[in-house]
Amino acid sequence: MNVLSSYAHAASIVTPESLTENTLASLEQIFTRPLVLAAFDLIDRSNVLEYSSPGGHYYQVFGSTASYQVFLDLPSPTPAYCTCPAFSYLLLSPESTLMCKHILAALFGRKLGRIIQRQLNPEELATTLLQE
């Protein structure tokens, strides 16, 4: 498994109906417990926003020192992308099954319906993307 297949696996096992102890245990097995806890911590702090516009959508995840943009549902071969340095590093490590906490937070938050939604028109979306 690499970083992207572990993401696909996580996406397939988390559903709003099945966030059980078993699901959490499976996630911790793939990504490690600290990473899974860090992702849920971001969700609990309402640090995950979804910006949507008629042209598409992306997520903004606020960390303690910086905020990053997360893209899910991209065409293969890279179904998810984050602008943080950790994710670029992970992509270059073919053996890594870790994932950055921002992508996990966006993925889990979306599955569980716990993401703050913002609507943008296309001009606002372009401006937001250019600023960061």
| Contacts with Zn ion, residue ranges (CB under 5 A) | 82, 84, 87, 100, 102
User: Is-contact 2 97, C-beta < 8 A?
Assistant: yes
User: Is-contact 131 60, C-beta < 8 A?
Assistant: no
| Shortest Å, Cβ 71 to Zn ion | 11
CA of residue 22 relative to chain centroid, distance: 21
For Zn ion, the closer of residues 87 and 108 by Cβ is 87
For Zn ion, the closer of residues 45 and 119 by Cβ is 45
Q: Which two tokens stand for residue 122?
A: 């296309």
| Shortest Å, Cβ 68 to Zn ion | 5
| Shortest Å, Cβ 100 to Zn ion | 3
**What distances in angstroms separate CA 46 from CA 1, 6, 74, 119, one per listed residue?**
30, 25, 24, 17
For Zn ion, the closer of residues 55 and 85 by Cβ is 85
